[in-house]
A and B are shown apart, each in its own frame.
Chain A
């Protein structure tokens, strides 16, 4: 997000420096916090009613998604939990083939969080929401005792109108479909790893968190039902997402290691820690399964769109080795890419 939003949104005058339990108590302190830090910042017609919920109307079918964000550290290279919480839900709604319109914002704040940090997070929420074109229309704020949270947890829920051209679902996937990844993999996970206590390493890797809804909207308008599935491979990475799809479709998936786009710094960092980039989390990347007849045109279009310049065809759906993802290694050998078990842990040597 640009620094412009930060400049336009200076920290409001508040008579407290840190969040205390009272700010979640529902009384005067809660209202002080909400008035200055929430209602003024996110001001819109629906929020103005200050009701417990928002009343929405839609002409089309609606997509609906929720996600909770507990990332540590809260501030990381390339972003913070605020924009991640907006982008994450915006992208989940977009993956359904919908155009996200409204989101909710629920904050669970750990007692003692400096107000400056809360403000920084909220300003990034605002910036990300504006960029994605969604309104924050309802929300909640709770405060938990020190030690019972990790600075701040955020839940967002989003709704969006389905694109009338969209026919998205694992049922539409068939052998021959091409698998296209929209950008470099493993960037977000390695940006977080680089600042994790005990594993810090110096790098210029930044998280790829971003809103993918505008890019997806353009693709749906042009390719409609030729797009059979879209997924964002967040936790568990590309490998876990492809395994879920292979399992759900009972089809096989072939991917080619050499075709998977990755930033060389990210590749080196994975190498150093002994991690497989296919299992590392992404935020600003989505995988499409498209009809083979449009794959080249789809790729070309995606490469011309926002956040799509590194897009690549990484493989295809096949009728053999059911339920399995098989990778052709850089040297031409083949191996199964399994679902990740637990968390990937850095190796001893």
Chain B
């Protein structure tokens, strides 16, 4: 696999680890913002290979983990409607709502379908004109273009039995929320390469200036991750703070113009609640007024009781990087992938699941 195998080269990784050992002189705490990066660090055994001065903190970049409980309950509620076909990305299905997960609703007879793209949901809507098709539009900036495009195309081709349950969140406001937290100890960030592929660099410069933190746009393969960490540490050691691009084979400064246009056409920035963190101003997307007919929350009047998170679970602190998963009293005991108390134990990108799966020996 071109552009993959080169970034899994053991000798290159070792060479960069050696450079890292030579560069680092004191303790640094760095956050990888994306769940895919957390997964890559843990799956490849990189955390154990890093110099002990470096502490990696796993950020909130796992869309499954930060989707509020209430929205999962809404998705379950919609799925249980006999006239609805509820479509979702695969890993949302196992996330526990307050009463059940979508997977349980499916087992009880709900028509829940796993898709890889919302455009496929649009096809299902065309094929089933007597049903309402709802796509659970979860994710960061990465899934926003395809979700926006599905709504744009539905409107353009007059498909009225399609809508999306929106739970879109944005990375930069979450980084700010973390940096503003009184317990914050993050000194540098690995930014998520695929998010910046869409969005470009613009919105990161003000954060870097305001909080004086280095940000390195980083990929997901072992060599990407070690290089990204090395670039952050070099800045920290020199007292610098700037944006650097480790993932230049993919990411361009201006982002993806077409993707940005379709997002802008369909979505507008809004306040969003984050599971475990709470509401963050201007931290997500909602559908613009012109597309309100495609908003599942408005199309179906969903009456859901407010529910509280499990009290033992420290998912919020884990997502903000204040605590490690194993510092949770329930970790590996009451809470495990078979019986998750909080979302980070569910998704394979969640910090708790990553620790549970890969580091328990």
Q: Report A's interface with B, CB cutoff 8 A.
A: 197-199, 201, 264, 267-268, 271, 273-274, 321, 324, 326, 328-336, 338, 341-342, 345-349
CB distance from B99 to the nearest CB of A (A): 18
Q: In the bound complex, how far is the Cα of B36 from the Cα of A348, in angstroms?
A: 10
Q: Are B115 and A198 neighbours in the complex by a CB distance under 8 Å?
A: yes
The residues of B that contact A330 with a CB separation of less than 8 Å are 8, 10, 44, 222
Contacts A198-B113, A324-B361, A349-B63; A333 near B49 (Cβ below 8 A): yes
Q: Are A345 and B114 neighbours in the complex by a CB distance under 8 Å?
A: yes
The residues of B that contact A274 with a CB separation of less than 8 Å are 348
The residues of B that contact A335 with a CB separation of less than 8 Å are 42-45, 358-359
Q: In the bound complex, how far is the Cα of B358 from the Cα of A274, in angstroms?
A: 16
Stretch at the interface among B71-79, B90-98, B275-283, B295-303: B90-98
Q: Report 25 cross-chain contacts, Cβ distance below 8 Å, ordered by A residue.
A: A197-B113, A198-B120, A198-B124, A199-B116, A273-B116, A274-B348, A321-B361, A329-B43, A329-B45, A330-B222, A333-B44, A333-B45, A333-B46, A334-B45, A336-B360, A338-B357, A341-B337, A342-B94, A345-B91, A346-B90, A346-B114, A346-B116, A347-B89, A347-B91, A348-B91
What are the 8 A-B residue pairs with the smallest beta carbon separation, nearest first? A333-B45, A345-B90, A346-B90, A341-B337, A335-B358, A331-B13, A198-B115, A348-B89
CB distance from A271 to the nearest CB of B (A): 7
Q: Are A336 and B359 neighbours in the complex by a CB distance under 8 Å?
A: yes
Q: Are B8 and A331 neighbours in the complex by a CB distance under 8 Å?
A: yes
The residues of A that contact B347 with a CB separation of less than 8 Å are 347
The residues of A that contact B337 with a CB separation of less than 8 Å are 341-342
CB distance from B152 to the nearest CB of A (A): 20
Categorize the interface residue count of chain B: 35 or more
The residues of A that contact B9 with a CB separation of less than 8 Å are 331
Q: Are B45 and A341 neighbours in the complex by a CB distance under 8 Å?
A: no
The residues of A that contact B44 with a CB separation of less than 8 Å are 329-331, 333, 335
Q: Are A334 and B1 neighbours in the complex by a CB distance under 8 Å?
A: no
Contacts A333-B49, A335-B358; A348 near B143 (Cβ below 8 A): yes
Contact of B181 with A by CB under 8 A: no
Q: Are A332 and B10 neighbours in the complex by a CB distance under 8 Å?
A: yes
Q: In the bound complex, how far is the Cα of B90 from the Cα of A332, in angstroms?
A: 30
Contacts A198-B113, A199-B115, A345-B91; A336 near B1 (Cβ below 8 A): no
Residue of B140, B223, B358, B361 contacting most chain A CB atoms (<10 Å):
B361
Q: Are B116 and A198 neighbours in the complex by a CB distance under 8 Å?
A: yes
Q: Are B49 and A332 neighbours in the complex by a CB distance under 8 Å?
A: yes
Q: In the bound complex, how far is the Cα of B47 from the Cα of A308, in angstroms?
A: 37
Q: Are A348 and B13 neighbours in the complex by a CB distance under 8 Å?
A: no
Q: Are A332 and B13 neighbours in the complex by a CB distance under 8 Å?
A: yes
Q: Are B87 and A336 neighbours in the complex by a CB distance under 8 Å?
A: no
SS class, residues of chain A in contact with chain B:
loop
The residues of A that contact B87 with a CB separation of less than 8 Å are 198
Q: In the bound complex, how far is the Cα of B87 from the Cα of A30, in angstroms?
A: 40
Q: Which of B46, B194, B356, B358 contacts A349 (CB 8 A)?
A: B194
The residues of A that contact B14 with a CB separation of less than 8 Å are 331-332
Q: Are B222 and A331 neighbours in the complex by a CB distance under 8 Å?
A: yes
Contact of B4 with A by CB under 8 A: yes
The residues of A that contact B36 with a CB separation of less than 8 Å are 349
Within 8 A of A (CB), among B207-259: 222-223
The residues of B that contact A329 with a CB separation of less than 8 Å are 43-45, 222
Contact of B68 with A by CB under 8 A: no
CB distance from B62 to the nearest CB of A (A): 9
Q: Closest residue to B117 on the A side, CB-wise? A: A198
> Interface code B107-141, partner A: CB below 8 Å = 1, 0 otherwise?
00000011110001000100000000000001110
Q: Are B1 and A271 neighbours in the complex by a CB distance under 8 Å?
A: yes
Contacts A264-B1, A333-B48; A346 near B91 (Cβ below 8 A): yes
The residues of B that contact A264 with a CB separation of less than 8 Å are 1
Q: Which of A201, A332, A348 contacts B92 (CB 8 A)?
A: A348
> Interface code B302-337, partner A: CB below 8 Å = 1, 0 otherwise?
000000000000000000000000000000000001
Q: Are B1 and A349 neighbours in the complex by a CB distance under 8 Å?
A: no
The residues of B that contact A326 with a CB separation of less than 8 Å are 361
Q: In the bound complex, how far is the Cα of B10 from the Cα of A324, in angstroms?
A: 24
Q: Closest residue to B116 on the A side, CB-wise? A: A199
The residues of B that contact A328 with a CB separation of less than 8 Å are 45
Q: Are A334 and B48 neighbours in the complex by a CB distance under 8 Å?
A: yes
CB distance from B162 to the nearest CB of A (A): 15
Q: In the bound complex, how far is the Cα of B356 from the Cα of A138, in angstroms?
A: 47
Q: In the bound complex, how far is the Cα of B191 from the Cα of A110, in angstroms?
A: 52
Q: In the bound complex, how far is the Cα of B217 from the Cα of A284, in angstroms?
A: 42
Q: Which of B4, B93, B222, B358 contacts A345 (CB 8 A)?
A: B93
Further contacts, 6 of them, CB under 8 A, given A264-B1, A328-B45, A331-B14: A332-B10, A333-B48, A338-B360, A347-B90, A348-B64, A349-B143
Residue of B1, B49, B358 contacting most chain A CB atoms (<10 Å):
B358
Q: In the bound complex, how far is the Cα of B116 from the Cα of A44, in angstroms?
A: 48
Q: Which of A331, A336, A341 contacts B361 (CB 8 A)?
A: A336
Q: Closest residue to A324 on the B side, CB-wise? A: B361
Q: In the bound complex, how far is the Cα of B17 from the Cα of A331, in angstroms?
A: 11
The residues of A that contact B10 with a CB separation of less than 8 Å are 330-332
Contact of B187 with A by CB under 8 A: no
Contact of B338 with A by CB under 8 A: yes
Q: In the bound complex, how far is the Cα of B89 from the Cα of A273, in angstroms?
A: 11
Q: Closest residue to B87 on the A side, CB-wise? A: A198
CB distance from A28 to the nearest CB of B (A): 36
Q: Which of A267, A273, A333, A348 contacts B63 (CB 8 A)?
A: A348
CB distance from A308 to the nearest CB of B (A): 25
The residues of A that contact B120 with a CB separation of less than 8 Å are 198
The residues of A that contact B222 with a CB separation of less than 8 Å are 329-331, 333
Q: Closest residue to B194 on the A side, CB-wise? A: A349
The residues of A that contact B32 with a CB separation of less than 8 Å are none
CB distance from B146 to the nearest CB of A (A): 10
Residue of B45, B48, B114, B349 contacting most chain A CB atoms (<10 Å):
B45
